[in-house]
Amino acid sequence: MGSDNAGLDQLKAAPWDRFAGWDRWPARILLLVVAALLVLAAIAPLSATLDGKPSEVPSLIGDGAPNGQTESERDEDLAFYDRVIERIGHGENYYDFIVEEQRARDYPVRPGLAVRLPTLAWIHASLGEPAMIALAVALLFACIWAWWKRLGKEPGGARFRLLGTALMAMGGSLGLNRSFFVLHELWAGMLIALAFGLHRPGRWGAALFVAALALALRELVLPFVLLMAAMAAWRKDWREATAWIMLVAVFAAIMAWHLSLIAVQEVPSDPVGPDWLVLRGLSGWLGNIVLSSNLRLLPHELASPVVILMALGWAGWKSCAGTTGTFLYLGYGLAFMLAGRANNFYWGAVVAPAMFIGLAFLPMALPSLVRAARGKA
């Protein structure tokens, strides 16, 4: 019994256990906030439609399309991206037809951000479906390998690396469904997971390259890049911070070029897309993560609280990766509460894959928080 208590004392005192050293009242306040969020998460409605109807498994992230499915049977957004890839594959220039295609489907072209960057469509058209399948498999295994290595190197990560990498595999497995290969957010999310896993303070070149590719796919990756720059500046690694800021500058130039090509094709009769600043609150954060990940397979009364527990697990891990992950997932969570319509739920795929890793640290974080709240940390 005495050895068990000594083992608990050693775990509580571990330098990577963030909550073990917390004072009683901060721990109590956080525990109360977490408890309230868990209750609210269980009852918060999840919607993937503009009319607010509940949807636990929307068609966009369903079970996929069987071989031979026609365009009319496929989700409208996915069918649109299929058509774009097909036209590029036939030798057409993306900017010669993309505005025309969006108008034909009554998709807005104003503001210009409503028109995706052509990167993923170019890659898909150039490589073809078999190569995209191989690429998806390689990307998933790269993420698993990167996080196996990072968990082994980070303080306290080694004891959680087996479960953590298994959770990375669970979070990233949706990327193997070829029905969703046309979704920019799915690839961008896996690339963020890989960049995060590859990053080390002082060794950031590979992470920068992978993040640049993710940013070329979807501008929603920009907050991740800015966070990496901020974390580098906080460590006073000015060389790394400068590299991330330079990536932002290059991206801004490319995006300005993209928007200029769209702007010259706009006409006054083009409809302006609905506002993205819709303040959906907790349902925005939870809905985006649950409906764009494998959590969608659970009843939302269970799935939504899991998102809160993922964030708590990340927050409880006192390490470079744990701190970065906490800011990353809470930051995107706040953004999703403020911006994005209900039918933009797939934005959650940008951060969902590696967020699952936070559950590996929950058995450390939650008991330590409870002990600290009781004054026994």
Residue 345 has pLDDT above 50, yes or no: yes
In a domain, 8, yes or no: no
Residue 140 has pLDDT above 90, yes or no: yes
Which residues constitute the domain of residue 192? 31-66+74-373
Contact 152, 161 (CB under 8 A): yes
Contact 340, 280 (CB under 8 A): yes
Confidence class for position 56, pLDDT limits 50, 70, 90: very low
Q: Tell me the average pLDDT across 219-241.
A: 97
CA dihedral 322, 355, 215, 349 (to 10 degrees): -170
Structural domain total, the chain? 1
* Residue 135, φ and ψ in degrees, nearest 5: -65, -40
Q: What is the mean pLDDT of the chain?
A: 89
> From residue 31, how far is each of 19, 243, 306, 371 by CA, in Å?
11, 38, 15, 11
Percentages of the chain per state (helix, strand, coil), in multiples of 5 = 70, 5, 25
In a domain, 18, yes or no: no
DSSP 221: G
Picking from 324, 82, 295, 17, the residue whose alpha carbon sits closest to that of residue 199 is: 324
What local confidence, expressed as pLDDT, does residue 269 receive? Answer: 84
Confidence class for position 197, pLDDT limits 50, 70, 90: very high
Q: Tell me the average pLDDT across 279-294.
A: 93
What local confidence, expressed as pLDDT, does residue 366 receive? Answer: 96
In a domain, 341, yes or no: yes
Q: Tell me the average pLDDT across 6-24.
A: 73
In a domain, 167, yes or no: yes
| Paired strand residues for 110 | 272
> From residue 25, how far is each of 168, 248, 323 by CA, in Å?
34, 40, 21
In a domain, 83, yes or no: yes
> From residue 310, how far is each of 53, 144, 164, 263, 315 by CA, in Å?
26, 18, 11, 41, 9
In a domain, 2, yes or no: no
In a domain, 293, yes or no: yes
Distance CA 97, CA 112 (A): 14
What local confidence, expressed as pLDDT, does residue 10 receive? Answer: 42
| Paired strand residues for 47 | 54
What local confidence, expressed as pLDDT, does residue 13 receive? Answer: 58
Percent of the chain with pLDDT over 90: 77
In a domain, 122, yes or no: yes
